[in-house]
Structures are given as C-alpha cells and as structure tokens.
Structure 1
C-alpha cells in the first residue's frame, strides 16, 4: 500500500499514524513500538522514561505564558489487536499494516487497522513535536499491553506522573465525552479429555463456520451479532443427537476481547449416517441463519470431507463441552437502568480450542459490567455452568470500572470548548468497554479524567476503519482544550 494517508489533514497527525502502521505492535510483542516512541521522545530533546511495565512517559514543558496551568496527561495505549481474515496472509509480529483511504474512511487490507489506539497515540506525538501549539505542562503516557490485560496501566507506579488532568484518547465516537467505563474479568475454562479410537467405517469432515462480522466484545456487543463458537456447538449438539457425530478437534475464536467470527472443527460420523449428518447440519444452520439474518447476512457453513483424524475426543467430554458452550451466558446480559442505551453487563465466549498435546479443550470468556457485584455474580454463573459440565474454571484479570463524576471540572471545560467551536454540546456517555481510566484512577485518585476520540467503527475486526473528517475534529478539539486548561 502507498503512504497516501500522509496527505490527509491534519497532515502531521496522519504522518505519525502512518509511522505507527509501519511498526508491528500486537499485544505482547511491543518491544519495537516501545523503542520507537522512546527514541521519538529523546529525539525531541524531551524527558523520556520507560518504566518496568513497558510504559513510555514523555514530558514537555508549558509554552511561554502557560506555566501556571494544570498539568495534562495525554494517554493512549501502544498495542493493537491482531485480527485478520482467514484468507489473508499477514504476520502481525513482522509485517506492517496495509492502510489505505477508502472514501471517507481509512481502513486496512484484510487486517485490523490499529486506529484503536493508534490515532490517539499519533495525536499525542503531534502535540509533543509541535512548535506552535499553546499548552500548559504536558505529559504523554503511552501504556503497554492494554488489549490483553491492561498490563501497563496495572503496572504504573504512583507518584511518577505529575499532572492533574487525564485526557484518555481511546474512545471511538467523535462528539462524545466519556466519563465512565465497565470493569472486566476473564473466565478460563479447561476440559480434560481422553483420546479414543475412531470407529471403523467412519467418514471425516471439516466443519467451518465463517463470514460472521465479529467486532469489539464491548463496543459491538449491543449489535447482537452472532458468535461463531455458539453456532458451531449448537450445530454439533443437534447433529450428535441425530447421527452420533463425533468431535476430533475444535478451533474457534482467537482473542478474548473480540467477538469470534470463525470456528473450525474436525468431526467424524458413521458412513451410513453421512446423508443424515448433512441434512441435520443444513436444517439447523438454516434456522440459525434465519435468526441472525439481520446481523449476519454473510455467515456461512461449509462441510467438506477431510483426512481421517488419528483419535477423537471422548464422547462424554464432547457432550459436556457442547452443553456447556450452549448454556454459557453470552452477549448482552443486562442494560443500564441509569443511562439509556448503555449495556450494563455482557459476556463474550471468545475462544474454544482443543490441544492434542495436553488433551485439553480450553475456553475463554470475557465478562464486562459497570456494576462490580453484577460482574461477580455473572462470573459465578459461568463457573457454575462449566463446573457442572465437569470442567475446571479459574477467574483472572479482574479490573475495576470507572465511576462517572458529573461535577468534573475538565468535563465542564471541554463541554464549553466543544460548544463554542462546533455550536453544540457534546454527548456525555459511559462506555461498555475496559478503558484504562478505571485502573489509572485507582493509582492516581486525584486525577480529573475524560475519554474522547475520533469515530472508529468495527475495532478488533478486519473491518476496522476510522472516519477521516472526525480525526480532524478530534485534533482541533484537543488543541482548543489544551489552550483552555484552567490554572492550578
């Protein structure tokens, strides 16, 4: 792909974003992007720190006459979600993102774009490098490994940052100011199975569920999209009841915070039941297709004969696994009573994978809620489902939500700035996703925090795209906000 995005406005921001697309930065593989940002700060002659958690902190003094303003922390995360279409050849650990302009949007060729949170990172870089912006003391906090555990936010030490106002740039709807977010927790499930021989006279098939839209398991959960893991095991359960079909392997989903778009399995059935298997799968898939027609018009089921597997998962474990997946709470669990249109609680059954080396099937589900007690109750429900199914269950990675403060001084400032610049008052919202603000606010409870950003659609999926015009509005709003930060 060309560097055509460098010609977009604001040019300096887009040039910085283009540089980010050149550097592989999937979660847990962030050494190169951390080094790039560190050298970027040093190259500007600014105080630059890398802490033990992999966070990069860069300090820029106030411009003349603005020294008495409250210090601002511009915060974004360096990592990105590595999702690609199954037919796309791409190595996220080594290959650059192929970003391009598509009408009013910037998107990528068959992969995630990394606008989440690359645009916010690029904006902070642009502020740091600018010689003509007006601002008080600025610190840029580039956090590590946000997408797979918020490791950087969790590892940030108290007393390192000097500012009083945090501007998080990880929201995805321009014209909205976010003042709260959901907390989260991971359910880790493990079935241990016995290997059994394939019955004589069997035929093997590869069963693929593809074409679902997927998306961000927080932002997009309200869209009621299909879950490939749920679809696969619904079909498998129905076919088993009618034909005795057996499961040899399953590979569904890839990331805990992405709605699973695809699930692939290897199954076997007695040769005399092949026709019945096809009939049962086609009939059940037709029902699912009809149920999800509005949200998943491109969903496909493909059944093709394949090489015979060496062994099968024992039937008891197969049945328990199928029932467990079918019973597992998934999708929107409850809407918020206090903020209309906001999902309060949800769950995403993200991953189901078998491993013949360990004779296990592991599952991962990410729970989110803006009410911690409800999140914990949901965790117990999921634990109950899979414990009854004979699996081991462990809860990990719990992090708190961010409670809205409607009396926030920076909220009032930004509302006023936006109204004066664009002639309307921005919407005030909470987000059903795990912004780092909840964790950071626990370490720095005195911070006054807001999250905002440009319009990004379908993050965490290969359809991710960012609206070009809103990047300009986001940038101009940031510039004006920095001018209007109140005095200490």
Structure 2
C-alpha cells in the first residue's frame, strides 16, 4: 500500500521498517536487517559497542573531492498504544494506513519519528541516481529513551565534516539548535497498613487526553494525566478520608501522559457523596481543557476490595510531593521569539511494591534552565521526604549563525520551492548537541518531513512533505562543495 507513494524507494523501505519491531533498546533486529542490506551492496559496515551502526558509501563518479557528509537517523521508536489496543511492540508489526495526505498507524505510534529518516538514509545508500560526495550514514540506538547511542559515540569514528540529521518534524523548517535534557525522578518509600472492615474500593481513571511529544507539543498546554489525577486526589483528600492503594500513569518520560489511574478506598457511608464529587471534578476538567483535550474523562467505578492502603503520613507526603512537581512550560525564550526555553513533563508515575517513582523529563535551551529545575526537584523531594535521582543530563545544541551547511540547505530550499525555509531552534532533544560535544568541528543541520502527534498513537506523517523532504535532502547532497 505505502509503496505506491512517492518517492517509492523511500516508502518501500519505511513499509519494511514497520514490519520489524524496534522500540527503544530493542533495535537489534532492525540493525541486523540494515547490516545485511548494506553488505549485499558491498558497502563498508561497522558497529560500536553500544550498537550504533555506521555505513560508508564511496562518492558518486566525479564527486570524490566533495566535502564528506554524514547522514544520521535513530533506529528506535516510541512504543505507545491506545488502551483498547493489545499491541506488543517487541514482536508485533506496526500497521500503517493512508488517510488523505497522511500516513497513520492502527491504534499505535507510527514510528515515522525517526523511521522516515532511516528510510531516507537507506534510499540514498541504494539509489544510484543520487549524487553525493564521500558519504557516511550513522544509525544510532536508544535515542528516545535517553540518547544512549549518542552519549556513547566515540571520537575518531566519524570522518565527515558536515552532518545532516533527519529527525526534524516540520516541512519548511531547518533546525540549527535544540534543547538539552535531564531526567528527574522522585522516589517515595511507601508504608502500607491493613484497611479496616467495610471499606469500599474505587478505581479513579483519568483518560481521553491527546498526549503528545513532551518537547514539540509542550507549548500547547495539553492536559497531563499524571498531574491532573494527582491534583484531583489532593483535593479529594481534603474532604474525604480516602486511602490510596495504588497510583500509576504514563509510560514514557518524554511523552505527555494520556492516562492515569488510582485505586482508593473509603469507609462506609461515603459512596454517594464521593462519586458526586468525582463527577464535579470531571466537569471542571472538561471546562478547563475543552479547547486542548475535549475528550478528557474522569471516571469513578467500584472495583474489587484491596487489603491495604498507604498510611496517613505516607499518603500526605506523597500527594503533597506529586502535586508540587512542576509540569509544562516554565519559561519562554527571550532570545528566540515563540520558542520555549525551559519545560518539564511528568511522564511516568509507577507503583512497585513499596516504592512509587515519579519520572519527569526536563528540557531547556540553557544550562541554567536545567540547573534551576534540578534545584526545584531537589527541593520538592526534601519537603515531601522523597529521594531525588537525576540522570542523563546533556547540553543543548547552540545555534551557529555562520553555518555553511545551513546556508546550502537554505539555498536549495529556495531553488526547489521558491521560498526561504524557516531557520529554527527546536524545543526537543536532537542528538546533534551530543555529537557536537564529541566532534566539535561538525557543521550540522536538521531537516525532515511534517510529523504530527509524535510519541502518541495520533502520530502521522504528511505524504506530500516526505516527497519535499526527499527532494531537499538529495539536492543538498548534490550541492555540497569541494573541500
């Protein structure tokens, strides 16, 4: 079905990629398939200890003296599925379908982020009509779950001088800067006590939210299921002697959570008033998020009884800490109009035996922005008797206004489409910042097609923008000057 789209070679590769499960940290099957493909073409292939893959292709005839270029894409995808769809990302293929100008997946993330970039790189490697100088194609692993591949990249492995990252998600934009990131996790130790006889148990489920990419969509101020459920529980405990037995929500730190749930217990005689209060809270949420999340729902349903719940002290500290965790846009950039400078996303809340972990992902264009939120999370942890654990801190990619690579891409965009591209800085984590740390000489740009709803089952990619992306990519490769 996808193979009837243009450019057919690129779409054919993407269709094959969809058949090979490749969530973060499970990219081996896709990497092996690409390795076999490259070796059948007699291309030089190497792999580092982390699992990053590097393929080298000689220059096209007559272009041997052109500056060497690195094309780059990440192999992993974000595994997100609707609650009503049973999908095992470790073994089930993605099921793409065409809807007008969009390609979507049935009930799951599509993996266009960054599968389209991977497919474009493979198309360049296998299409003899594409003109280019000495070429390296770098496929990294574990980008979505912490940029592990980029962190592990060793010096003296890459030889290229220009790097074209294919992970941008807006046709007509050229990215030349991105935010850095930091994972902030608060671990709460849980003490439980047996419930008295007669307590009634309910399941509070918050869902129907759009979710989305915690960098690209954070400025839209969509509802965060984790934050909203914690806020609701904090308010309900002011009026009812409820006791929490379990609390969970979200699946990934860098995806705005769409669903969260809690199991709570109340003493006899509270049922009618408690359910009425939950209905009132649901109506307030519908009013608050009618423009961004019109399908938001908060339901309260009886569920099988539980034997224990949190002690009063544990629950008080937990709800205070979770409610105080910052979420969303913290500061807009004053240097770049319309761009978020600093944000944070409460992506995951998970109860496991006697510990609850709340995982947030911080993004900032500045080191100070990340440092500030580091302090905020440490303070929340101290006040709520939790332990703060920080990991994966990395700097952003600072814009280079004198970038020759950016100028080449801009010139080709003007020539092909009759208009200038937008030069942008993205509030998302591209691997370019980490590449720059290991290879400070690299001149980098990031381009890509239009992808909407990344990191959610609403993910979709524009067919027409993929064709323009391919035209821009191949024209840029042909226009790279000699050394």
User: Cα offset for 1:310?
Assistant: 2.1
Q: Shift of residue 208 of structure 1? A: 0.5
Counterpart of 1:448? 443
Partner of 1:367: 362
Q: Secondary structure at the match of 2:131?
A: coil
Are residue 98 (structure 1) and residue 115 (structure 2) matched? no
Counterpart for residue 415 of structure 1:
410
Instruction: Indicate the SS of the match to 2:481.
Output: coil
Report matched runs for 1:259-338 at 5 Å. Answer: 259-338=256-335
Q: 1:70 matched to which residue of 2?
A: 67
Checking the alignment, whether the CA contact within 8 Å between 2:279 and 2:299 is kept in structure 1 is no
| Separation (CA, whole Å) in 2 of partners of 1:251 and 1:36 | 36
Is contact 1:245–1:277 with CA below 8 Å preserved after alignment? no
Q: Hey, what's the Cα distance between the residues in 2 that align with 1:27 and 1:176?
A: 26
Tell me by how many angstroms 1:199 deviates. Answer: 2.0
Equivalent-residue separation in structure 2 for 1:336 and 1:442 (angstroms):
23
Select 2:166's aligned residue among 163, 166, 169.
169
CA contact (8 A) 1:70 1:163 kept: yes
Deviation at 1:285, TM superposition (A): 2.4
Q: Which runs of 4+ in 1 moved over 2 A?
A: none
| Match among 174, 179, 184 for residue 176 of structure 2 | 179
The question of 1:406 aligning with 2:401 is answered yes
> Tell me, what secondary structure is at the counterpart of 2:230?
helix
CA distance in structure 2 between the partners assigned to 1:397 and 1:309 by the alignment: 37
Distance in structure 1 (CA, Å) of the matches to 2:73 and 2:314: 43
Q: Verify: 1:462 aligned to 2:450, yes or no.
A: no
**How does 1:369-388 map onto structure 2 within 5 Å?**
369-388=364-383
Aligned partner of 2:433 among 438, 442, 445: 438
- What displacement does 1:101 show? 0.4
Superimposed CA distance per residue, residues 144-177 of structure 1 (whole angstroms, 9 cap, x where no aligned partner): 1000011111111111111100000000001100
How far 1:82 sits from its partner (Å)? Answer: 0.2
Residues 411-460 of structure 1, C-alpha deviation per residue, up to 9 Å, x if partnerless? 11111111011100100000001100000011011010000100000100
TM-score between the two structures when normalised by the length of structure 2: 0.99
Cα distance in 1 for partners of 2:145, 2:178 equals: 17
Provide the C-alpha distance between the structure 1 equivalents of 2:68 and 2:391, rounded to a whole number of angstroms.
Answer: 35
Cα separation, 1, equivalents of 2:314 and 2:278: 21
For residues 171-228 of structure 1, give each alpha carbon's deviation from its aligned partner in whole angstroms, at most 9, with x where no partner exists: 0001100000000000111111111111222110111001101100000101100010
Contact 2:185 2:390 in 1 (8 A): yes
Q: Note if contact 1:27-1:81 (Cα within 8 Å) is conserved in structure 2.
A: yes
Shift of 1:382: 1.5
| Structure 2 residue 130 is matched with structure 1 residue 133 | yes
User: Could you tell me which residue of structure 1 aligns to residue 248 of structure 2?
Assistant: 251
Supply the distance in 2 between the matched residues of 1:370 and 1:199 (Cα, whole angstroms): 51
Return the match for 2:473 from 465, 478, 481: 478
Tell whether the 8 Å contact from 1:56 to 1:143 is kept in structure 2 after alignment. Answer: yes
Confirm or deny: 8 A CA contact 1:243 1:276 kept in the other structure.
Answer: no
Would the aligned equivalents of 2:285 and 2:296 in 1 still touch at CA under 8 Å? no
Distance 2:28 2:412 in 1: 37
Are 1:202 and 2:237 counterparts? Answer: no
Contact 1:242–1:280 (Cα < 8 Å) also in 2:
no
Deviates more, 1:234-243 or 1:160-169: 234-243
C-alpha displacement of 1:284? 2.2
Q: What is the CA–CA distance in structure 1 between the aligned matches of 2:434 and 2:19, rounded to whole Å? A: 30
Instruction: Give the 3-state SS of the residue equivalent to 1:242 in structure 2.
Output: coil
> Please, which runs of 5 or more residues in structure 2 have no aligned partner?
none
Measure, in 1, the Cα distance between the counterparts of 2:94 and 2:344: 30
Which of 136, 141, 145 is matched with 2:142 structurally? 145
State the distance in 2 between where 1:422 and 1:310 align.
66
1:31-84: CA deviation from partner (whole Å, max 9, x where unpaired): 111111111211111000111110110000001110111011000000000000
